[in-house]
Amino acid sequence: MIVYEPPHAATHIAQVDLAGSFDDPGQQARVAREIHRALRETGFFYVTGHGVPQALLDEQLAQTRAFFAQGEAAKAAVSVERSPCRRGYEATGRQVLDAGSAPDFKESFMLARDLPADHPWVVAGLPMQGPNQWPENLPGFRAQMEAYQREMIRIGRHLMACLALSVDLDPDWFAQGLRDPQVGVRLLSYPPQPQEAAGNLLGAGAHTDWGSITILLQDDMAGLEVRNTDGEWILAAPIPGSFVINVGQMMERFTGGLYQANLHRVRNNHAARARHSVATFFELEPLYRMDIAPTCATGTQIIAARTIGEHLEDMARASYAA
C-alpha cells in the first residue's frame, strides 16, 4: 500500500503545443523532441493546439456531469454487470488500483468502440470487445460520446506517430496496429473526499496505466497528482482547453524502460463538489504484439512480446480481483 502524503507544490509539467504538427514534418519533429524530454523528466505532459473545438470539450464534461447526476436506478440500468465486455456504469468502491488500500472512491462509466456481433474481434471472442450500453434518458449523450471518440482517434494516432518519432523511428511505425484502434472512454466522478477516512482512501489509488497512452480531459477542479521521475508528487492542475497525456505500461515495454509508466493518483479535496474528468485509453489493436523498439533495445533486455489484448485483460483481472 502506498500511504497518502500531500503533494509538493507543482514544479514543472511540460506543455506541448501540437499546432502545426499535423501537416508540417518540421513541427512534428519539434513535438517529438518536446515529448521525449517531458517523458524523461516527469512522465506526463499537457497538450494544447490539438484542434478539438472547445464547445465539444465543454459538452463532453456537461454530459459526464449529467450522467452521474441521474438517480441510482437509471445508472444501475446500464451497470457494467449487465455487460459481457465491461462496458457501462461502475459504482463507488468496485475497483482497487493500489493493492492494500481502500477501494477507489469514484464512480465511472465505460464505453469503447461499439462493435457489432459480426465484428472479427467479437467473433473471435477477444476479451472486452463488443457493444456499449447507452443510457435511455439523456438526450444527445450517445452522439456526443461518439463525436468525442472520433476526435480521440485523430489525436491518438497523431500522438503515437510523435512517440515513434521521439525514439528515432518512422512516424508510421505503429500504422499497422492503428487501422482499427481501441478507444476506451471512461467518464469519472469523484465525490468530495471524507475528512476522516481509514485505509488510505483516495478517489483513485496510486497506479500506472496499463496500455499505450492516456488522454485526460479535466474539469476546473484540481485533483490529479503525478509522481515525477524524481519520486516527488506534484499537482497536475487543470489548464483550460488542454489534455493531460501520459504513457502506460505497454509504451514502457516498447521503449525498454526509456519512458516510464509513472505513478499517479486522484484526490478530490473540495468539501462540497464532485470532480469530473474523462480518461481516454488509446490503444493499438488487441492482436498487435508489442516488443522493444529496435532503437531502444540494448541487447541485454529479454522481454517476450505480448499482445495488447493479453496485457489489458490480465491487468483488468488483477485490478478487479483485488
Of the candidate ranges 58-67, 206-215, 306-315, the one whose mean pLDDT is the lowest: 306-315
For residues 1 and 75, what is the distance between their CA atoms, to the nearest angstrom?
A: 31
Residue type, 22: F
pLDDT band at 270, cuts 50/70/90? confident
With pLDDT > 90 as the criterion, what percentage of the chain qualifies? 70
Least reliable range by pLDDT among 34-38, 97-101, 209-213, 250-254 = 97-101
Cell numbers 472547445 correspond to: 54
pLDDT of residue 9: 45
Supply the Cα-derived Rg of the chain in whole angstroms.
19
Residues 276-292 have a mean pLDDT of: 93
Residue 168 φ then ψ, to 5°: 65, 35
Per-residue pLDDT band for 27 (boundaries 50, 70, 90) equals very high
Domains of the chain, earliest start first: 14-321 (2.60.120.330)
What would the DSSP string read from start to end of 256-290? TTSS----EEE----SS--EEEEEEEEE--TTPEE
H-type helices in 9-140, by residue range?
Answer: 25-41, 54-68, 72-76, 120-123
Output the CA torsion sign for 285, 288, 293, 297: positive
Q: What are phi and psi of 274, to 5 degrees?
A: -75, 150
Mean pLDDT score of the chain, rounded to an integer?
91
* Residues 110-133: tens digit of each pLDDT: 999 999 999 999 998 888 999 999
Q: SS3 for 153?
A: helix
Per-residue pLDDT, 99: 84
145-190 confidence digits (pLDDT tens): 999 999 999 999 999 999 999 999 999 999 999 999 999 999 999 9
CA–CA distance, 182 with 60 (Å, rounded to integer): 19
pLDDT at 179 (0 to 100): 94
More confident residue, 95 or 17: 17
What is the average pLDDT across 253-265?
92
Mean pLDDT along residues 98-103: 85
Q: Residue 234 to residues 11, 42, 91, 261: CA-CA distances in angstroms?
A: 7, 9, 28, 16
